Amino acid sequence: MKARGLTFTPVHANDPMLDNATVQALIARYDSPVPRYTSYPTALEFVPLADSELLNSYRRCEPGRPVSVYIHLPFCENLCLYCGCNVLLSRKIEVLDEYIPLLLAEIDAKTDILEFRPKVSQLHFGGGTPNFLRPGDWDKIFARLRERFIFTDDAEISVELDPMYVSDDYLAHLRSLGMHRVSYGVQDVTPKVLEAVNRPQDIGRIKGVVAASRRLGFSSVNIDLIYGLPHQTLASYRANLDFVGDIRPDRIALFSYAHVPWLKHHQKRMDAAALTQPAEKLLIYLAAREHFASLGYEQIGMDHFGLADDTLTRAFHEKTLHRNFMGYTTQKTLDMLAFGTSAIGFVSGVYMQNHLKLSGYRSAIETGKNWFEKGYVMSDEDRLRHEVITMLMANFHVNFRAIENQFGIQFEVHFADEMQKFQEFAADGHGTLTNESFTASETGSFIIRHIASVFDAYRKSGVAKAFSKAI
């Protein structure tokens, strides 16, 4: 296959499953909109949620079971045109004088519902740009969290940062508060691409920030890259791969750009004609995967890479990896308490999303009413399908007997139509089907979203445009 004059050599030359004809066929058949399944049901199914669900779900929390905590820090000074996150643009630092007290009040109000101090085994700060906050803001947040929660000895505390706006002193302050995992949103290092997506970047500065993070004792320093952006080519992406070799992060997240301008209107400001086309986009992914393997990284799920001794890598090989709104994790689906604008929590089988706009968020906290933008109460069938989809998305594998033991069903009977689809995927070379399990093959891993969607009871032909294309 050729892309803009370039020819791709299969990732594994001895693997007939990855020849160019196969790659072309995958694109022709499977490059269609499909969910990424960070939740099931997807957020598209969320509906207005009564405040009573907050009380009911929190009161069903088990005192001895650890929880995850997610805190959304939505502010950005600059709008990156590829962004699919819920952000609030502001260049006025004073906005934090309103937001931080609201955030602390939300933590107080929701933990007051519980009759115990929950144990926290995961804490993640996302955005937005979390390093929009001042050091004193972090002090207030951590003081409140340690007052309201008990952190386990091995709690994972992680944060997403923009490497262009962080100093050594700032990193040292975050480290002193107990953070030990940091992810830097690099996305791309090519000037033409960065200009097209309105993201300032400097390679030298990023290298310095990564080095400082290691000196300060962060145990895991990770980077995010995106493929599919305007002006990215198989040739130009080599700069990103070389950059990875230079800094050797502990983990790499290689995200496929989700072009959904009907949902994220700012994406219309990019030149759609300059977007990487599906054929070349897949070539970039394959070349990146090959390069990462040559550096000693192993694939984790559909878009992460880690070194052999990484906990996520081991969990993937052992088929015990899990997936939630925060990404891949070694911890089986925990209740997730979420705070901040637009944050999505998951407690006792209930999804709850906070208000997207600051005005709605403020009103909910000040009045103690109308807490949520929307949410969803899972049924028993939802829980069953969620488990199967999560197994596939995280481990490329589903064990029928494990599902039967957990849910008291007969897999082949309950999922008779889905088993037929498994047979079709296996016949096409996209997986191995036995009496006990289904395991995606090399090509199956490329279309795992499609394979998982077989178990999505809510897929409707009329909502396809709500999702990005799979390739």
pLDDT (tens digit per residue) in 105-162: 999 999 999 989 999 999 999 999 999 999 999 999 999 999 999 999 999 999 999 9
Cβ contacts of 442 within 8 Å, gap of 6 or more: 12, 15, 17, 18
- What's the pLDDT score for residue 111? 97
- What's the pLDDT score for residue 381? 98
Please report, for the domain that includes residue 169, its CATH number: 3.20.20.70
What 377-382 contacts at long range (C-beta under 8 Å, 24+ apart), as own/partner pairs, is 377/49, 377/53, 377/349, 377/350, 378/41, 378/349, 378/350, 378/351, 381/457, 382/40, 382/41
Domain range for residue 391? 380-458+466-470
In a domain, 372, yes or no: no
421 and 330, same structural domain?
no
> Do 340 and 334 form a contact (C-beta atoms < 8 A)?
no
- What's the pLDDT score for residue 30? 83
Structure tokens at 161: 């940062």
322 and 178, same structural domain?
yes
- What's the pLDDT score for residue 469? 64
395 and 276, same structural domain?
no
Domain boundary among 321, 338, 355: 338
In a domain, 194, yes or no: yes
- What's the pLDDT score for residue 71? 99
In a domain, 352, yes or no: no
Q: What is the pLDDT of residues 236-291, one digit of tens each?
A: 999 999 999 999 999 999 999 999 998 899 999 999 999 999 889 989 999 999 99
What total number of domains does the chain contain? Answer: 2
Q: Is 127 annotated as a binding residue?
A: yes
- What's the pLDDT score for residue 459? 84
Q: How far apart are CA 61 and CA 67, in angstroms?
A: 9
Helices 96-113 and 358-367 meet at what angle, rounded to 10? 50
203 and 88, same structural domain?
yes
Where residue 198 falls (left for φ over 0; alpha for ψ -120 to 50; beta otherwise) is left
Q: Is 128 annotated as a binding residue?
A: yes
Which residues, given as ranges, of the chain have pLDDT below 70? 1-19, 333, 460-471
- What's the pLDDT score for residue 23? 72
262 and 136, same structural domain?
yes
384 and 333, same structural domain?
no
Query: What 3-state class would DSSP assign to 9?
Result: coil
Q: Is 122 annotated as a binding residue?
A: no
324 and 405, same structural domain?
no
Q: Is 199 annotated as a binding residue?
A: yes
325 and 391, same structural domain?
no
Q: Is 344 annotated as a binding residue?
A: yes
309 and 238, same structural domain?
yes
Structure tokens at 308: 């052999």
Q: Is 80 annotated as a binding residue?
A: yes
Q: Are strands 327-329 and 220-227 parallel, antiparallel or unpaired?
A: unpaired
- What's the pLDDT score for residue 115? 87
Q: Is 187 annotated as a binding residue?
A: yes
116 and 218, same structural domain?
yes
In a domain, 14, yes or no: no
Q: Is 115 annotated as a binding residue?
A: no
- What's the pLDDT score for residue 80? 96
In a domain, 264, yes or no: yes
Residue 190's nearest CA partner among 178, 180, 199, 181 is 199
Q: Is 185 annotated as a binding residue?
A: no
pTM of the model: 0.92
248 and 177, same structural domain?
yes
- What's the pLDDT score for residue 19? 67
Please report, for the domain that includes residue 385, its CATH number: 1.10.10.920
In a domain, 334, yes or no: yes
412 and 280, same structural domain?
no
In a domain, 21, yes or no: no
